[in-house]
Chains A and B, each alone.
Chain A
Amino acid sequence: MIRFKNVSKIYPRNSIALQDIDLEIQQKEFVSLVGQSGAGKSTLIRLLIREEAPTKGSIFYGDTDIAKISHKEIPFYRRKMGTVFQDFYLLPDKNAYENVAFAMEMSGYPTKQIREDVPRVLKIVGLSDKAEQFPDQLSGGEKQRVAIARSLIHRPDILMADEPTGNLDPINTWDIVKLLLKINELGTTVILATHDKDIVNSLKRRVIHMKGGRIIKDEEVGNYML
């Protein structure tokens, strides 16, 4: 499904973020990307969502070389993948319902479909009763659920979560992890970038260890070893 072929990302002044990455991720996999800050986890995700292009090598999504996707096609490509970040990235002046609906509105979905899909996806993340609440009235965990709901609205093939629990307390952290597992069970590939040892060890799924922009270990069922 996703294939990195000899990918490197080098920023100006020879700052190497990723080096010689070869990686394959299959459909419906749950993959944890682990490593300390600066290991290259976020850069790898940025390349996948085509926020940036690799300096060297190719990244394939199916048969598509994503570095060669034209500017016009990028939004359509991004709708195939959901993204969740540590800082939630919610629009503060919109309530939970509107934040999710906005993603559909700005992608040109018809109003009727928006009215049907938004409550359904809010129900999946357990926020049906919080639809009218604004981000500043929600807890950290609830904000992250809204972000997840928003990322699911396009029915993505892949969900990429970059440190989604970084700003959450332990209870909310586990709620989000459970939600990601549920989404994975429903058939979505999940890529979780984290440095939370407890989460990774409890998942018993594939773990990719990164250090200094390189993959140093890739285990089918792994533990956090760094």
Chain B
Amino acid sequence: MFTALTRVIKAGVVSFWRNMAVSTATISVMTLTLFLITAIILLVFLGSELVKELESKIDLTVFFNVETQDEQIQKIKRGLESRDDVSSVLYVNREEALQQFRSEHADDTLIQETLAELGDNPLRAYISIKARKLSDFEAIGAFMRQDQYTPYISKILDDNSQENRRAVAKLQSFTTGVRKVGLTLGLIFVLVAVLVSFNTIRLTIINARGSIRIMRLIGSASFFIRGPFVVMGIMYGVIAAIITMAIYLLALQAIAPRMNDYIGASFDVFHLYADNGWAFLLIQLVLGVLLGGVSSFIAVRRYLNV
């Protein structure tokens, strides 16, 4: 079986080189298809990474009155932590808040002097709440605004949460849009690639009619006659996947710094692609092999009666 497979692959490779002109055209269309599909995946991936980053920045901060006791705040904290929609609660007491403020404004002598003159700690204790989902902030806010807590609370700050939530919602709708448009475009390109690949294999079969007749007459098994054409189709896909991968690595290396500046995220776009390079290559290879393999298989079934 191994010898048979080796011979079929060898015959497919030889046929591929001999039909280089049509092979090149097919690989180009397939590369374009894989390029587009990768772009869509990358954009959606980039979008979800941005959403994750923005989401990690969103919180709801509750400032307590100066008089509120530590025990009471701990109790409220435990109450929040027991909720399913709360992912984490960070408690910063007055001393820690002061230390934080001091270290943040260590270079500002005016602030340092004012704090020294005041003597007493003017800062309030606060808790910073992160929700599991963006939509959970509404319920958490309502929970904190209950009558039983209002006597202890000085202020609930959710400006940052509202602003970021709007940004995330925009980004999410953009990502959904990309996914929809991309899916439509992707399907069109997949269809074109399958048709071109199918046609190339068909032409190759027509060109090889003489050899195919000879092979049939000398008693070649159909696997040996059909196999090389399917190998050719798979080769189109594999080569297109490798070219697509190379284009992305080179292009992203060149444009990533400018993209990073524009997006302003903490991650690097090139590394986002390169670190997931194997996954992207695998997707491209599987897609390429499917496109080439399936279209050649159909062409062989349709035009090569052995």
| B3 beta carbon closer than 8 Å to chain A | yes
Assembled-state Cα–Cα distance A75/B219 (Å): 4
Give the residue of B210, B217, B221 whose beta carbon is less than 8 angstroms from that of A49. Answer: B217
**Structural contact, A111 and B3, CB atoms closer than 8 A:** yes
Assembled-state Cα–Cα distance A224/B6 (Å): 50
Q: Which bucket holds chain B's interface residue count?
A: 10 to 19
* Chain B proximity mask over A43-59: 1 for CB below 8 Å, otherwise 0: 00000010100000000
Q: Is the interface of A mostly helix, strand, loop or mixed?
A: loop
Which chain B positions have C-beta within 8 A of A51? 216-217
Which chain B positions have C-beta within 8 A of A13? none
**Structural contact, A75 and B220, CB atoms closer than 8 A:** yes
| A170 beta carbon closer than 8 Å to chain B | no
> What distance in Å separates the Cβ of B149 from its nearest Cβ neighbour in chain A?
79
**Structural contact, A108 and B3, CB atoms closer than 8 A:** yes
Q: Which of A77-97 contact B (CB under 8 A)?
A: 77-79, 83, 89-91
Q: Given contacts A71-B306, A108-B4, is CB(A78)–CB(B218) below 8 Å? A: yes
| A154 beta carbon closer than 8 Å to chain B | yes
**Structural contact, A103 and B306, CB atoms closer than 8 A:** no
| B214 beta carbon closer than 8 Å to chain A | yes
**Structural contact, B221 and A107, CB atoms closer than 8 A:** yes
Which chain B positions have C-beta within 8 A of A106? 7, 215, 218, 220-221, 224-225
Assembled-state Cα–Cα distance A110/B216 (Å): 19
> What distance in Å separates the Cβ of B85 from its nearest Cβ neighbour in chain A?
63
> What distance in Å separates the Cβ of B4 from its nearest Cβ neighbour in chain A?
5
| B211 beta carbon closer than 8 Å to chain A | yes
Give the residue of B210, B211, B214, B221 whose beta carbon is less than 8 angstroms from that of A75. Answer: B221
Q: Given contacts A89-B210, A106-B7, A111-B3, is CB(A72)–CB(B217) below 8 Å? A: no
| B52 beta carbon closer than 8 Å to chain A | no
Q: Which of B214-245 contact A (CB under 8 A)?
A: 214-222, 224-225
Q: Given contacts A89-B214, A91-B214, is CB(A75)–CB(B222) below 8 Å? A: yes
**Structural contact, B219 and A103, CB atoms closer than 8 A:** yes
**Structural contact, B3 and A89, CB atoms closer than 8 A:** no
Give the residue of B7, B211, B214, B225 whose beta carbon is less than 8 angstroms from that of A105. Answer: B7
Assembled-state Cα–Cα distance A49/B216 (Å): 10
| Chain B interface (Cβ < 8 Å from any Cβ of A) | 3-4, 7, 210-211, 213-222, 224-225, 306
7 A–B contacts from the bound complex (CB under 8 Å): A71-B222, A75-B222, A77-B219, A103-B220, A106-B220, A106-B221, A108-B4
The 8 closest A-B pairs by CB, nearest first: A106-B220, A79-B219, A78-B219, A103-B218, A106-B224, A75-B219, A89-B214, A75-B221
- Besides A89-B217, A105-B224, 19 more A-B contacts (Cβ < 8 Å) are A51-B216, A72-B222, A75-B216, A75-B222, A77-B219, A78-B217, A78-B218, A83-B218, A90-B214, A102-B218, A103-B218, A106-B7, A106-B220, A106-B221, A107-B224, A108-B3, A110-B3, A111-B3, A154-B219
